[in-house]
Chains A and B, each alone.
Chain A
Amino acid sequence: DTEVTQTPKHLVMGMTNKKSLKCEQHMGHRAMYWYKQKAKKPPELMFVYSYEKLSINESVPSRFSPECPNSSLLNLHLHALQPEDSALYLCASSLAPRGAGGLGTGELFFGEGSRLTVL
């Protein structure tokens, strides 16, 4: 089973709403990622968790708040978003981290994404 599951697949929210995106994997992977992708652009890294600890934050605005409750789950909490935050949000995992001397291969397995529209 090589699946990363993301919910919801589609989300529409107002600028004052609070919502969360969820990601789950049961492959025993110990690195998990959030990416943001706008139309016709490559994925942009937002956050990396290595062994459930936040290891990379790419200067993401605080209206995005990641959380890794355990090795299988990754959440992205959304609050007071702007219309320009509308995008496809991708969760990915890899077997092991590559940073901090990790021995990971760097291969990422992406979920299907959550398409977010901010009104």
Chain B
Amino acid sequence: QKEVEQNSGPLSVPEGAIASLNCTYSDRVSQSFFWYRQYSGKSPELIMSIYSNGDKEDGRFTAQLNKASQYVSLLIRDSQPSDSATYLCAVGSYNTDKLIFGTGTRLQVFP
């Protein structure tokens, strides 16, 4: 059974701090990794994708991938109250359109 695990939270951080969200996965042949943000009652929105080991930065967001340790993380710098949402980690393998989603981490950024 392929699994993607996330801490459900809530993760509470003050405004302006760095929020660190983590995700581990069980399938060693996973090749594609995604972070989606989902506001309450809304649909998921893709915010980062990463395919190779290391860091990938986009604005205030940095995705980090370590395939040897089978984890992927998302750092949000200068966190804002508008970042308060559930963050879903999703993992894909070669030659399949099926993504395995984690259960999500709820992030709360307080002023």
Contact = CB atoms under 8 A, between A and B. Distances in A.
Given A42-B104, A45-B98, A106 B45 contact: no
B34 interface: yes
Nearest to B32: A106
A42 to B, nearest CB: 4
Interface string B29-52: 000101000000011111001010
Interface in A70-119: 88, 90, 94, 97-102, 104-113
**For the complex, would chain B's binding face be called helix, strand, loop or mixed by DSSP majority?**
loop
Q: Which of B42, B43, B51 has the most CB of A within 10 A?
A: B43
B17 interface: no
A12 interface: no
A42 B92 contact: no
Contacts of B43: 88, 90, 110-113
A116 to B, nearest CB: 14
Given A90-B44, A105-B32, A112-B42, A97 B97 contact: yes
B49 A106 contact: yes
A119 B44 CA distance: 26
B97 to A, nearest CB: 4
A97 B97 CA distance: 6
B32 A43 contact: no
B96 interface: yes
B25 interface: no
A48 B97 contact: yes
Given A42-B88, A113-B43, A99 B34 contact: no
Interface of B: 32, 34, 42-46, 49, 51, 88, 90, 92, 94-99, 101-104
Interface of A: 31, 33, 41-43, 45, 48, 50, 55-56, 58, 88, 90, 94, 97-102, 104-113
Given A97-B97, A110-B46, 11 more contacts: A41-B103, A42-B104, A45-B98, A45-B99, A48-B98, A98-B96, A99-B96, A102-B95, A106-B32, A108-B46, A112-B43
